[in-house]
Chains A and B, each alone.
Chain A
Amino acid sequence: MNQMTDFSSDQSQPMLRVDNLSHRVSLETDTLTILQGVNLEINRGESVAIVGRSGSGKTTLLGLLAGLDTPSEGTVELDGAVISHLSEDERARLRARRVGFVFQSFQLLPAMTALENVMLPLELAGIDAPEKRARDLLERVGLGERLNHTPRQLSGGEQQRVAIARAFASEPSVLFADEPTGNLDNRTGQAVSDLLMALNREQGTTLVMVTHDEQLAARCGRQFTIESGVLTEPAAVREMAD
């Protein structure tokens, strides 16, 4: 493991740079291309939505951007580090310090309380006084009264709020959100996306969100469309963003 890998960020560089990214998976009989020739650059503090139908490859792209998987071809540069050049442990260290996640299915650990779930990334990153920070964050997302409840005792919206608190806990440079409101009703979804956006603004985090919800996508600075593994940025939207 290379302990010397430098994760310090260069503020002039883009947060994410994707160059000619392709991803294929081998099936029993043939090979399936999930992503093809994706190029993308996202600046610091930007919020970006990637919109597409089910099976269009958007979650795979998110995973590759976040370094949860390595691409078949091309490079992903996250905060100055080329992900495919890093070992698994180096990628983990990068995630611990720079990356936050919000999942469609919340991914809270059922045996742990809300507080413990939020403390988890802080503990992994070796941050001091994790409990204090986790409490503050849970207060911030409106769950100050439910610190010791386990996920099973919380509603879907509450669970997602815990997940959001966990995502922001280690003050990540970039937050990846995978259909954050996909499992929630309209009203709850609205409240959760408000919270996500608000925290994003407060912390100046770069947000990369995958969704099929056009309304949610519209709240992001830039939107991309993905179809059959090909990513495009509609001109109209780009102009609006400018």
Chain B
Amino acid sequence: MAAASKLMSVRRDWRERDVRVVLAALIIAVATVATIALFAGQLQRTLVSSASSFLAADRQLEAENGREIPGEWLTEAHARGLETGRMVEFSTMVFGADNFQLVSVKAVSNEYPLRGEIEVQRQSEGPRTLVGAGPGRGEVWINPRLLRLLDLTIGESLEVGNRNLKVTGLLIREPDGGFRLSALAPRVMMHADDVPSTGVIQEGSRVEYVYLFAGSETALDDYYRWLQPQLEPSQEWEGVRDGDTFSRSLERAERFLLLGGSLAVLLAAVAVAVASRQYALSQRDTVALLKTLGVRSNGIGRLYLRRLALWGIAGAVAGLFVAVPLFWGLTRMLSELLERPVELYLDPMALAPALLTAVVSLFAFAYPPIRRLRNVPAMRVLRSQPGETGREAIPDILVAIVAVFGLVWLYAGELGLVLALLGGLLLLLGVLALFGWLLVSGLRRVRGGGNAWRLALVGLYRHRRASMSQIAVFAMTLMLAATLVLVRTSLLDDWQAQLPDDAPNHFLINISPDSVESVASFWSERGHDLDQLYPMVRGRLTELNGLPVKEAVSKDERINALNRELNLTWMSSLPADNEIVEGAWFTPGQDRGVSVEAELAGRLGLAIGDRLTFTIGSQKVTESVTSIRTVQWDSMKPNFYMAFPPGGGLTDMPATWITSFYLPEEGKPGLNEFSRQFPTISVLEIDHIIARIQQIVQQVTQAIEAILALILAAALVVMAAVVSATLRDRQREGALLRTLGGQQSLLVRSTMLEFVLLGGFAGLLGVTAAEAAVWALQFGMFDGNFGWHWQVVLPIPVISAVVLALFGRWQLGPVLSVSPMLLLRRLE
């Protein structure tokens, strides 16, 4: 036994090519999964921190009921190590030298903003600077437009209620200047401590208290768990992940990374499986010899098990050594992209999936063929025994499939993903079985000749077992890679489509009916056409089928839309990005009915025909639901929960008009003139927000590209491993063919053609399976619109054919450069 152990020393192992391939596969597996897990974590932290500045905090607690939150809630937050801040938002009239204006005030505490920075201009023509705190006591910063409207200059006073506050800066951008239609009036930012002395807030005033929280994700989550049972319906906990354009992009990017990681797991498993099977085959003579020397089956089992464990440890350690610098490189790249230092954070927990991948790959994929070595008869020493038929491996394969998909499930936590990939894989195996049958029955009749094509076809047929398993592995690898390429393409297209370069970046709000035409001509004279103008009527949804809506809807549903006034509109045609999911859009001339946004309809449990009553000022309007439609909230265009037909329930209600349009940077000066000419119309500038989102999408895109490159590199290595598994046989065959008079050119052409056929077919198969998997994924994981992507996927079979042909040519290298005599001797 000791002698046998010696025979199996690790050093000796390392000299074997197949062991090196198993180890390389393991190292790649551990490295890829670890890098992705580490980097995904890093990316998430970085993005969340850049996204947090959208809230000026990590979380916000909004109290819309006009009451402050209990002091102990803040005490509890501090006790949990969270930072807090406070904002008070309300509308009021402010007075300048000669005139007055309705403004939207944001009063902030010293801590504001907890995340992000405020952009402020201290002098009318001075530079803009980024600062980390709001105005001091007795000061205000105001919207530049307000300065003109009130005819003020910096340094003068502004009257807010009972106080005179000094204008010390122009507010250019606030980090949480989110896109809210309620913020119609120009902004005034002041210190929260000055609010009581203004006397503006009285009992019953409409005021919103917003509390800011920042700290570690765990502390925030723990705090929320503590807080949640105490929240009233009018108090809302908001994070960056709550449904806006940005958080959706983030979520998809994160899923993409998870998908990438899962595919890395699958690829690694494939590589380990292929290499270890090859290794097991090569070990049969050794095992037979050991048995002849008296080692029992159990002893052999133990020997190989120990060996496997050693490889596992070696592979995991080496993999981590590769992953950490890779991760470091990616993080540096991210830091360069963001143009700011990114703190390197090596999360030990992120390494767990990588190590688990190593263990599962080894024991589910490498162990079964190696375990079967116990059954090799000692007789093999004397006489070559028939090899495995492959049938005995079927139960192992099933176990392995379950194991690896379990791993993916554990890793990605998405059953949909697992099922989509599994479905794609089954489809692939089905088509492969069909192809196998066609290969056997169709190519049997082809006879070789001096012709490279025929030789290639004959080669495919004669190596049918190797061909089939190579096609299977290539197709699987390509399916995984193609899935990733497809998802990436869809993701990027989707983002691009969502925010095209000319996406509307300015809103005009509060346009009175009689100035609609003059506003449109004002901008068209300056070469900027307005998008569709919509009338807007403010009203509350108060009754559902005659019952007060709060009774009609279950108390569990805290529906924001019910707590505030909704923007109602009427329109004759359905906006291009809306889609009817139930009922029918208004027919020309129809003047009854209302169309409801699908998500709200779902939460209210609305169906076609339900009667909705709206209270608009003192009047009530009742209409039946005639259609339910989806809305693109992130389209940066006016969107409405409720749409009426022209001449319908909203006719004669007091309406103002709203529109959005794209104004390039050079058109900005026009805004000043516009404000002078139309002082009552509010201009909402969201170009900063859009630029910000575009920048983040770009960052995420870069990260995705990096991960994709990593996975494609892993796929290439898998393919190289598979091709090199037959290296020896092919070289021997090449040498023999040359000995028997095959010309070099014929050999090169037929081998390359054989690989072109292999690669092309595997590519087609892989791409088809990938399309199927992506088609399934689009319903589950990514809510983008996925069509067929032939322009993306068609190059893949071509690339795979070319790459494999080059692999084939590379294999032939020694066959062509050395005399056949020498090669035959070497390979004997």
Q: Which residues of A contact B (CB under 8 A)?
A: 1, 59-60, 63, 68-70, 88-89, 92-97, 99, 101, 103, 105, 107, 109-112, 116, 119-121, 123-126, 130-131, 152-153, 166, 170
Contact = CB atoms under 8 A, between A and B. Distances in A.
B821 A63 contact: yes
Contacts of B462: 109, 111-112, 116
A123 B456 CA distance: 12
B450 A123 contact: yes
B821 A69 contact: yes
Given A125-B450, A126-B449, A105 B828 contact: yes
A88 B815 CA distance: 12
Nearest to B455: A123
B463 interface: yes
Given A110-B729, A153-B386, A124 B466 contact: no
Contacts of B449: 123, 126, 130
A111 B825 CA distance: 19
Contact of B733 (A60, A109, A126, A131): A109
Contact of B450 (A88, A99, A110, A124): A124
Nearest to A107: B736
A109 B822 CA distance: 17
Interface stretch (B126-134, B332-340, B741-749): B741-749
Contacts of B820: 68-69
Contacts of B458: 123
A124 B451 CA distance: 8
Given A69-B822, A126-B449, A93 B743 contact: yes
Interface size of B as a range: 35 or more
Contacts of B741: 92-97, 99, 121, 124-125, 170
Contacts of B451: 126
A89 B744 contact: yes
Interface string B791-828: 00000000000000000000000000001111011001
A89 B746 CA distance: 9
A5 to B, nearest CB: 12
B448 interface: yes
Chain B, interface SS category: helix
Contacts of B744: 88-89, 92
Interface centre among B447, B466, B742 (most CB of A within 10 A): B742
Contact of A92 (B387, B736, B742): B742
Interface of B: 384, 386-387, 447-451, 454-455, 458, 462-463, 465-466, 729, 732-733, 736-746, 819-822, 824-825, 828
Nearest to A69: B819
A68 B735 CA distance: 10
B737 A68 contact: no
Contacts of A120: 448, 737, 740
29 contacts: A63-B819, A68-B819, A69-B819, A69-B821, A69-B822, A89-B744, A89-B745, A92-B738, A92-B742, A93-B743, A95-B741, A96-B743, A103-B824, A107-B732, A107-B739, A110-B729, A111-B465, A111-B729, A112-B462, A116-B462, A120-B737, A121-B740, A124-B450, A126-B449, A126-B451, A130-B449, A152-B386, A166-B740, A170-B741
B821 A68 contact: yes
The 10 lowest CB-CB distance pairs between A and B, nearest first, are A96-B741, A126-B450, A123-B448, A63-B821, A68-B821, A95-B741, A69-B819, A89-B743, A121-B740, A92-B743
A117 to B, nearest CB: 10
Given A1-B745, A126-B450, 15 more contacts: A1-B743, A69-B820, A88-B744, A89-B744, A92-B742, A96-B741, A96-B743, A109-B733, A111-B465, A119-B447, A120-B737, A121-B740, A124-B741, A124-B746, A170-B741
Contacts of B739: 68, 95, 101, 107
Contact of B740 (A89, A96, A116): A96
A88 B387 CA distance: 37
Contacts of B733: 109, 111
Nearest to A116: B462
Contacts of B746: 124
Nearest to A169: B740
B824 A124 contact: no
Contacts of B821: 60, 63, 68-69
B140 to A, nearest CB: 85
Contacts of A89: 743-745
Contacts of A125: 450, 741
Contacts of B737: 120, 124
Contact of A101 (B740, B745, B819, B828): B740
Nearest to B741: A96
Contacts of B447: 119, 123, 130-131
A166 B739 CA distance: 12
Contacts of A63: 819, 821
A229 B741 CA distance: 27
A93 B450 CA distance: 11
Nearest to A100: B740
Contacts of B448: 119-120, 123-124, 130
Contacts of B455: 123
Interface centre among B454, B743, B744, B819 (most CB of A within 10 A): B743
A152 B387 CA distance: 9
A89 to B, nearest CB: 4
A88 B744 CA distance: 8
B501 to A, nearest CB: 57
Contacts of A126: 449-451
Nearest to B735: A107
A88 B735 CA distance: 13
A112 B821 CA distance: 21
A34 B292 CA distance: 39
Contact of A111 (B454, B466, B740, B822): B466
Contacts of B743: 1, 89, 92-93, 96
B41 to A, nearest CB: 48
Nearest to B464: A111
A217 B739 CA distance: 24
Nearest to B822: A69
Nearest to B733: A109
Contacts of A109: 462, 732-733, 736
A154 B739 CA distance: 23
Contacts of B822: 69
Contacts of B732: 107, 109
A101 B825 CA distance: 14
Nearest to A89: B743
A109 B825 CA distance: 15
B825 to A, nearest CB: 8
B745 A70 contact: no
Interface centre among B455, B729, B733, B739 (most CB of A within 10 A): B739
A96 B819 contact: no
